[in-house]
Amino acid sequence: METQVSYGGFMIRPIVTATDSGRYTATAVVTGPYDHDEHTIGAEVDFGRREEAVDRAIELAIAEIERRRFASDGHVKGA
């Protein structure tokens, strides 16, 4: 089952991969409000449960969206 989450105009698609050791890695593909605005965020840690990996991928993506939004707002306000 593929999960997609919408957050602040962005679409977050967590991707979880099972490792050979039976654990999971987490990555999220974030697509912005514009078609060309897409990037991938990965967690450099493994997880014992698939659901934990999905949740962490979404959390990391939201944090990255907020970081970019804050940096963008600061740049505009500082001009």
What pLDDT, on the 0 to 100 scale, is given for residue 14?
Answer: 92
**Closest-CA residue to 16 (of 63, 58, 77, 74):** 58
Q: Give, for 75, the enclosing helix (H) or strand (E).
A: helix 50-78
Write out pLDDT tens, residues 20-77.
Answer: 999 999 999 998 877 667 788 877 678 999 999 999 999 999 998 898 777 655 555 5
Give me the pLDDT at residue 79, please: 47
Confidence of residue 1 (pLDDT cuts 50, 70, 90): low
Provide the pLDDT for residue 34. Answer: 74
Residue positions counted in the chain: 79
